[in-house]
Chains A and B, each alone.
Chain A
Amino acid sequence: KQEVTQIPAALSVPEGENLVLNCSFTDSAIYNLQWFRQDPGKGLTSLLLIQSSQREQTSGRLNASLDKSSGRSTLYIAASQPGDSATYLCAVEEYGQNFVFGPGTRLSVLP
């Protein structure tokens, strides 16, 4: 059974810092890995999708990498802003299965 963990559980940084969020999964035979952002009381907003054949994806200040062999993904946020404050969720999909989510990292960027 696929299990997803995320470290740290919570993170507080001053504005302008570069930061890294970590995601680990137990079964490396994944099809897709997707990073989401969730604001309090809201739904999920997709940030980046990495397919199994890819090693990284970039969108603006966000960069996500995938290392299937070690069961890890990282989300790098450059030059953090207060508007980046949210919970970041990692989800992995095995072929023909649904996405399994991690518990999330709660990020606070202080002005």
Chain B
Amino acid sequence: DTGVSQDPRHKITKRGQNVTFRCDPISEHNRLYWYRQTLGQGPEFLTYFQNEAQLEKSRLLSDRFSAERPKGSFSTLEIQRTEQGDSAMYLCASSLVNNNYGYTFGSGTRLTVV
């Protein structure tokens, strides 16, 4: 395990459908973060986990969004009743608690809602 893996790489869905993304962090990293990035902007924080506990959620994370990290390893991000405004790149990152080495990001999942 040499990096953060995200699946799928691309997802096209019709408005109103539910989608789920998966992130597998670096195995020894106990923190996992979800960010969203729209075209021409920097990533915006959505939520993060330390082990299995979800410690912080941004106000960007509406009630249609839910994230889990059930065993403190991989994480899923689900978007219910997708809207066109949800179209973005969803990025996952992981780090150690003391974060002396910074964040390691995955390749992202690009969501297009049509």
Contact A102 B42 (CB under 8 A): yes
Please indicate the chain B residues that have their CB under 8 angstroms from the CB of A36 in the complex: 105
A12-20, A68-76, A77-85, A92-100 - the one binding chain B:
A92-100
Q: Is the CB of A103 within 8 A of B42?
A: yes
- CB of A101 within 8 A of CB of B42, answer yes
Tell me if A60 counts as interface (CB < 8 A to partner B). no
Residues of A within 8 Å of B44, CB to CB, are: 101
Contact (Cβ within 8 A) B91 A98: no
Contact among B6, B41, B43, B105 with A46 in the assembled complex (CB-CB below 8 Å): B105
Task: Find out whether the CB atom of A44 lies under 8 angstroms from the CB atom of B43.
Answer: yes
Q: Dominant SS at the A interface?
A: strand
Report the separation of the CA atoms of residues A104 and B37 in the bound assembly, to the nearest whole angstrom: 12
Chain A residues within 8 Å of chain B by Cβ, number: 23
Contact A43 B40 (CB under 8 A): no
Which residues on the A side are within 8 Å of B33 (C-beta)? 98-99
The B1-29 residues at the A interface (CB cut-off 8 A) are 6
Listed residue (B42, B105, B107) with the most chain A CB atoms within 10 angstroms of its CB: B42
Residue B69 at the chain A interface, CB threshold 8 Å: no
Determine whether the beta carbon of B40 is less than 8 Å from that of A103: yes
Q: Considering the complex, give the chain A residue whose CB is closest to the CB of B110.
A: A41
Contact of A98 among B45, B106, B110 (CB under 8 A): B45
Please list 6 pairs of residues, one from A and one from B, whose beta carbons are closer than 8 Å in the complex, sorted by A's number.
A41-B89, A44-B93, A91-B43, A98-B56, A99-B103, A104-B41
